[in-house]
Structure 1
Amino acid sequence: MQYRQLGRTGMKVSELCFGALPMGPRQKNIDVDTCTRIIKKALDGGVNFIDTAQIYETYEPIRRALQGHNREVVIATKSSATTYDDMEQAIREAREKLAVDYIHIFHLHAARATANIFEERAGAFRCLLDAQEKGLIGAVGLSTHGVAAVRKAATVKEIEVIFPLLNIAGMGIIDGSREDMLAAIAVAVDAGKGVYLMKALAGGNLLGRYHDAMAFARQVPGIAAVAVGMVNETEVDYNLGYFNGADPGPVETSTKGFAVVESVCSGDGACLQACTNEAITMVNGKARINPDKCLLCGYCTEVCPHFAIRMI
């Protein structure tokens, strides 16, 4: 396993970052004991970097997996809070549920962020800076799918870490192409920001191209790590093997996706606004998901007032 410096944060992280989104209730909704076992396996295999978020609801298995682990594990979390008070609560929640005094990285969680993100989230941003000054968090970051937001974050000295979406197919990138995002990341790296990547497999859409997709992501100049979601021990073994230089053979692909229960859907359209990749349309007053565009992020499930969107 390679370990790389994360920009100028002083943190050294494993190239393989454990992405905690898919195991939580937004996607697979795996029980806590199983989640704990999966995370422990990754940590025992050399992973020292975990990415999670307030809305992922995966703090409990991470806390359990850290118990008794004898190496420091870098935890990155995030919140979509917009106000000072809400972000303060998000920080408190993370520290309490993870049973830690200190969070290594805390991001503004803003998939659809524009270049105005730091004005739009001024209260939350100020809270993160205050928490950093108090020693509650190590680095302030931005998690985004947008090119303009990455470019803006590269110019903001208080932002030390950027977590952008990038994959070989360019799926899910907002306000630009794959090449545009690569250029924005290069600007961020040149500015000394720590950068690690999300959605290298486009939420599972590129599993059939695993080796090409991962080779592309790993070769982006200056990035520290690639976050990969893993929902069983077989996936952990496969990714550990690949990132440790072995040839684990062809990846086993499985079909998964989100579907709308039309009898429950009210047609209110909240999911359309939440979708970062325009994968949802309205057909005869009901939401419909295009599986070819869906990144399996689960953001639509969070906003549906009737829980009409289910993973299948």
Structure 2
Amino acid sequence: MEYRQLGRYGVRVSPICLGTAFRGFWAGRTDEKTCIRTIETAVDLGINFIDCANFYFGGRCEAVLGKALAAMKDKRDNLVITSKVWSEIGPGPNDKGTSRYHIMREIDRSLKRLGLDHIDLYLLHHFDPDTPLEETLDAMNDVVRQGKARYVGMCNYTAAQVVEALWVADRHGFATPACLQNQYNLIHRSGVETELLDRCRRHGLGMMTYSPIAVGLLTGRCRRGEDPPADSVW
């Protein structure tokens, strides 16, 4: 397996990152054992980069990943595990966003579900217009300082939001975001190709992309003017 640096940072990851949203699991078409076996097979093939989020299936995907990691304890130190924070995970007024309150609570919940003492890469799942970036990045800095995450990053940010976040982190001496994760495939290209790749190169950010086959639309099974297959998540 080939491994690459994550932007300008020293950590090296496989060019293929295994996503663990497990849409089939959400839809009831894939069981937990199959999900765990998928993770184990990916690791056996050399993939050391695994992506998750607190939001996926109400936290159940993190729990499944945690079970897989527990079964591969001897390999954990060679893996780069990611998770994310932002999404609405309950009915309460503070159950969404990137406030200090939400971040500090959710990192602990994610660690518990994953069965880990730290997450290697902790991402802001979306930009939060209701919370100052100073508050958000200060909290993420504390997550790193407390040893609960090794690196932090951003997900679904625009080019302008990326630059602002980097400026705020530099100005206040906060942990600098190490990477950006955005959707990129044959359907969704423009934002990444016209702005984000250039910003990432310019500032030394690693670039992660998700949904390379557009959640199954690009597999060849979904045809224009036809209903999706019965076993499709669509």
State the TM bucket, normalised to the shorter chain.
0.7 to 0.9
Alignment correspondent of 1:201: 213
| Structure with more contact order per residue of length (Cα contacts < 8 Å, sep ≥ 6) | 1
TM-score, reference length from structure 2: 0.76
Match of 2:124 in 1: 108
Distance across 2 between alignment mates of 1:123 and 1:103: 20
Asked if the contact 1:21/1:27 (under 8 Å) is kept, the reply is no
Q: Work out the CA distance in 1 between the residues paired with 2:183 and 2:130.
A: 16
CA distance in 2, matches of 1:151, 1:77: 22
Q: 1:128 matched to which residue of 2?
A: 140
1:28–1:42 CA distance, 2 compared to 1 (3 A):
farther
After superposition, give the CA deviation of every residue in 1:253-307 in whole Å (9 maximum; x if it has no partner).
985234xxxxxxxxxxxxxxxxxxxxxxxxxxxxxxxxxxxxxxxxxxxxxxxxx
Tell me the CA shift for residue 149 of structure 1: 3.5
Residue matched to 1:49: 49
Give CA deviations for 1:8-40 in whole Å, capped at 9, x if unaligned. 332111111110012475445633222111111
Deviations for 1:179-213, whole angstroms, at most 9, x for unmatched residues? 4421322211221111111122111111129xxxx
Identity of aligned residues (%): 27
Residue of structure 2 aligned with 1:93, choices 96, 109, 116: 109
Cα deviation, 1:126-164, whole Å, max 9, x if unaligned, reads 221111112221111111164543454565542111101
Name the SS for the 2:232 alignment partner: coil
AA aligned opposite 1:197: T
Q: Secondary structure at the match of 1:85?
A: helix
2:226 corresponding residue in structure 1: none
Distance 1:117 1:14 in 2: 35
Give the letter aligned to residue 194 of structure 1: G
Matched, 1:60 2:36: no
Structure 2 unaligned spans of 5+? 87-96, 171-175, 222-228
Equivalent positions of 1:1-312 (< 5 A) are 1-23=1-23, 26-28=26-28, 30-56=30-56, 57=59, 58-66=61-69, 67-71=71-75, 72-80=78-86, 81-110=97-126, 113=127, 119=132, 122-144=134-156, 146-153=158-165, 155=167, 157=170, 158-170=176-188, 178-182=189-193, 183-208=195-220, 256-258=232-234
The change in CA–CA distance for 1:138 and 1:131 in structure 2 (over 3 A counts) is same
8 Å contact kept, 2:99–2:131: no
Q: 2:10 is paired with a residue of what secondary structure? A: coil
Note if contact 2:159-2:199 (Cα within 8 Å) is conserved in structure 1.
Answer: no
Distance (whole Å) between structure 1 residues aligned to residue 139 and residue 180 of structure 2: 18
- Whether the 8 Å contact between 2:6 and 2:206 is mirrored in structure 1 is yes
CA–CA distance in structure 1, aligned partners of residues 34 and 72 of structure 2: 17
Q: CA RMSD in A?
A: 2.7
Separation in structure 2 between the aligned mates of residue 204 and residue 16 of structure 1, nearest angstrom: 17
1-structure distance, mates of 2:39, 2:119: 18
CA distance in 1 between counterparts of 2:74 and 2:178 reads 27
Distance 1:100 1:208, change over 3 A: same
With over 3 angstroms needed to count, the CA separation of the structure-2 counterparts of 1:159 and 1:186, relative to structure 1, is: same
Mapped to 1, the partners of 2:130 and 2:211 lie a distance apart of 21
CA distance, structure 1, for counterparts of residue 103 and residue 32 of structure 2: 26
**Partners of 1:118 and 1:101 in 2: CA distance:** 27
Identify the residue that residue 225 of structure 2 maps to in structure 1.
none
Cα separation, 1, equivalents of 2:190 and 2:18: 26
Q: Look up the match of 2:90.
A: none
TM-score (norm 1): 0.58
Structure with greater proportional helix content: 2
Deviations 1:60-84 (A, max 9, x none): 2212222335331100100113321
